């Protein structure tokens, strides 16, 4: 059973139009289980996980898996439109995750290098400061 999105009437899964108001019904969301679909879903999910975890470096692992699964689905099951869409989503999110991970790495490296340089600057200045303070106090 599926519901008409417009009037909410119950329609049979095989119906393409609502029997009450004639609105075109969405294609049933229950896809028959296929291994290529499973891989495509895995690819998409891993891609999303990769985007989320790309903010920390381990996101690179699911992102690479998402791209590999997506490529497997695209190469092996071109006839399955739904699987292809999810595999492309997996490839896009996986690639996006890798991009974010690369940007985060660059940002992290620049922050660390600026922290190190400012720390060494302070370290260089600190003895001069304390010496002048000491001489002022003792004088």
Strands 2-3 and 10-11: antiparallel
In this structure, what DSSP letter does residue 11 have?
E
Report in angstroms how near the CB of residue 99 gets to Zn ion at its nearest.
43
Q: Give dist(CA 38, CA 35) in Å, integer.
A: 5
Number of residues engaging Zn ion in binding (CB under 5 A): 8
Report in angstroms how near the CB of residue 22 gets to Zn ion at its nearest.
7
Report in angstroms how near the CB of residue 3 gets to Zn ion at its nearest.
9
21 binds Zn ion (CB under 5 A): yes
66 binds Zn ion (CB under 5 A): no
Which region among 14-22, 36-44, 50-58, 64-72 touches Zn ion (by CB under 5 A)?
Answer: 14-22
Report in angstroms how near the CB of residue 25 gets to Zn ion at its nearest.
8
Contact 21, 7 (CB under 8 A): yes
Closest CA to 95 of 67, 58, 62, 55: 67
Q: Which is nearer to Zn ion, 7 or 102 (CB)?
A: 7
Report in angstroms how near the CB of residue 31 gets to Zn ion at its nearest.
23
Three-state secondary structure call for residue 12: coil
Residue 22 has, within 13 A of its CA and on its CB side, a CA count of 0
Number of H helices and number of E strands within the chain?
A: 3, 2
- Using CB under 5 A, pick the residue from 3, 10, 20, 126 that binds Zn ion: 20
27 binds Zn ion (CB under 5 A): no
**Residues lying near Zn ion in the complex (CB under 5 A):** 4, 6-7, 9, 18, 20-21, 23
């Amino acid at each position: 059973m599926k519901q008409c999105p417009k009037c909410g009437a119950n329609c049979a899964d095989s119906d393409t139009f609502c029997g009450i108001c004639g609105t075109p019904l969405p294609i049933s969301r229950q896809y028959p289980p296929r291994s290529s679909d499973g891989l495509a879903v895995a690819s998409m999910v891993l891609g999303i996980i990769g985007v989320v975890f790309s903010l920390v470096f381990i996101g690179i692992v699911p992102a690479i898996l998402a791209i590999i699964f997506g490529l497997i689905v695209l190469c092996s099951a071109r006839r399955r439109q739904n699987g292809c869409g999810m595999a492309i989503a997996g490839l896009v999110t996986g690639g996006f995750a890798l991009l974010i991970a690369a940007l985060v790495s660059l940002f992290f490296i620049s922050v660390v290098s600026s922290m190190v340089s400012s720390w060494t600057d302070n370290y260089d200045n600190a003895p001069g400061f304390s010496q002048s303070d000491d001489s002022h106090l003792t004088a």
